[in-house]
Copies of this chain bind each other. A is one copy, B any other.
């Protein structure tokens, strides 16, 4: 037997690290564990009964279509349903502005594939979604983190970084934004700042990649238009997904973009996986056509609002002074800041010993900061688990503060 495959590996594979989050998730199978770690939707929100009915209908009436290869662009009916839904929310797009991806993670991968050469820069928030950062890194991108304030990416800092990089002769390809209930920070970009980011992209000839999985999970406040809808320059490409508003188990996302961009994404997708499952696409298309997303989504939002509220109450009740946390208007996460000097990565092991888990925030910082932060998911755990989990976590943190 060969000793090692290392000398066969590509540069990209040599640098590959397992996703910290997905590795943590594997530790959490043990009974009694309360996990605030994953970004998992609550299974109670999955429309099991609706799907039973639709799966039967699709198999009976259009089984031959649903079990065959799809086109790479995706099921035309699903793309139509998605475009119409966006247009009802204020966009003005056609099915040529939409292609279906195998989850929005595939959208991130394909975007990276068509735009990034090794050494190209991507600008992202500090912090930003790890799956985005990792997708860009795997194509050799250099990440430059931009600090956030309470309204998201600080545009003065963004512009400063662009100027500095350009002065150094670096090639910047795009700005990566997660504008609504940013993962992990929970922050939403107001419209004015979205417009400012578009202006900066225009001024310095950059693209914008908008990653928007949570926008519709809003508990309060004013709904925001997609940045795509504010853009008249053609610079924005937007990634969406059914994972949080429907169910992740279908692996269906979509990309909204200019035909010239989508054209390249389609070719990239041909070699990536040919097409996304026709079966799940057609079931989803019929689900949308019947208006079931509009019927079910408010229940999901109500449940998550209740869980966020309880999470906030429990944090207030149990957490020691000097720990602070966000109050997100939507999405799935609180972002927690511990007193300086505490290390959320080392605390995580103790937390897991005490049957509670989270993701250490530093994972989301491309510049190795944020070691005193943690991301806390509130969508997955039930009321009892939220209360017990926060109590356990507070105890672990208090011990850490006392021994620090």
Hey, which bits of chain A sit against chain B, CB under 8 A? 1-2, 4-5, 8-13, 16-19, 22, 25-26, 38, 40-41, 43-44, 46, 48, 51-52, 55-56, 59-60, 63-64, 66-72, 101-103, 105-106, 108-109, 113-117, 120, 131, 134-135, 138-139, 173-174, 207, 232-235, 243, 247-251, 258, 260-261, 264, 266-268, 270-280
Beta-carbon contact of B41 and A68 below 8 Å = yes
Beta-carbon contact of B41 and A109 below 8 Å = no
Find A271's partner among B40, B48, B105, B114 (CB 8 Å cutoff).
B105
Query: In angstroms, how far is the closest chain B Cβ from the Cβ of A103?
Result: 5
A44: chain B residues at CB < 8 Å are 64
> Mind listing 18 A-B residue pairs with CB under 8 Å?
A5-B264, A9-B114, A9-B115, A10-B115, A10-B139, A12-B113, A16-B267, A18-B266, A19-B270, A44-B64, A48-B59, A51-B59, A66-B249, A68-B247, A106-B273, A138-B271, A251-B273, A277-B277
The CA of A374 and the CA of B318, in the complex, are separated in Å by: 72
The CA of A174 and the CA of B106, in the complex, are separated in Å by: 26
Beta-carbon contact of B13 and A272 below 8 Å = no
CB-CB nearest in chain B for A139: B10
The CA of A235 and the CA of B7, in the complex, are separated in Å by: 13
Query: In angstroms, how far is the closest chain B Cβ from the Cβ of A94?
Result: 16
The CA of A18 and the CA of B262, in the complex, are separated in Å by: 12
Find A114's partner among B12, B60, B63, B71 (CB 8 Å cutoff).
B12
A72: chain B residues at CB < 8 Å are 22
Find A59's partner among B52, B67, B272, B274 (CB 8 Å cutoff).
B52
Beta-carbon contact of A274 and B10 below 8 Å = no
CB-CB nearest in chain B for A261: B5
Find A279's partner among B56, B174, B250 (CB 8 Å cutoff).
B250
Query: In angstroms, how far is the closest chain B Cβ from the Cβ of A262?
Result: 11
A109: chain B residues at CB < 8 Å are 271-273
The CA of A43 and the CA of B48, in the complex, are separated in Å by: 27
A274: chain B residues at CB < 8 Å are 22, 103, 105, 131, 251
Beta-carbon contact of A69 and B272 below 8 Å = no
A233: chain B residues at CB < 8 Å are 1-2
A174: chain B residues at CB < 8 Å are 8
Beta-carbon contact of A272 and B55 below 8 Å = no
A249: chain B residues at CB < 8 Å are 66-70, 277-279
CB-CB nearest in chain B for A243: B69
A207: chain B residues at CB < 8 Å are 5, 8
Beta-carbon contact of A234 and B2 below 8 Å = yes
Beta-carbon contact of A67 and B248 below 8 Å = yes
A138: chain B residues at CB < 8 Å are 113, 268, 271
Beta-carbon contact of A10 and B271 below 8 Å = no
Beta-carbon contact of B55 and A52 below 8 Å = yes
CB-CB nearest in chain B for A69: B248
Find A64's partner among B19, B43, B71, B266 (CB 8 Å cutoff).
B43
Chain B CB count within 10 A is highest, among A41, A46, A279, for A279
Beta-carbon contact of A251 and B271 below 8 Å = no
Beta-carbon contact of A264 and B13 below 8 Å = yes
Beta-carbon contact of A102 and B105 below 8 Å = no
Beta-carbon contact of A235 and B2 below 8 Å = yes
A278: chain B residues at CB < 8 Å are 248-249
Known contacts A63-B46, A250-B67, A10 near B103 by CB under 8 Å: no
Beta-carbon contact of A22 and B270 below 8 Å = yes
The CA of A16 and the CA of B72, in the complex, are separated in Å by: 15
The CA of A273 and the CA of B239, in the complex, are separated in Å by: 13
Beta-carbon contact of B10 and A117 below 8 Å = yes
Query: In angstroms, how far is the closest chain B Cβ from the Cβ of A27?
Result: 12
Beta-carbon contact of B26 and A48 below 8 Å = no
Beta-carbon contact of A248 and B113 below 8 Å = no
Known contacts A1-B232, A2-B234, A13-B114, A67 near B273 by CB under 8 Å: no
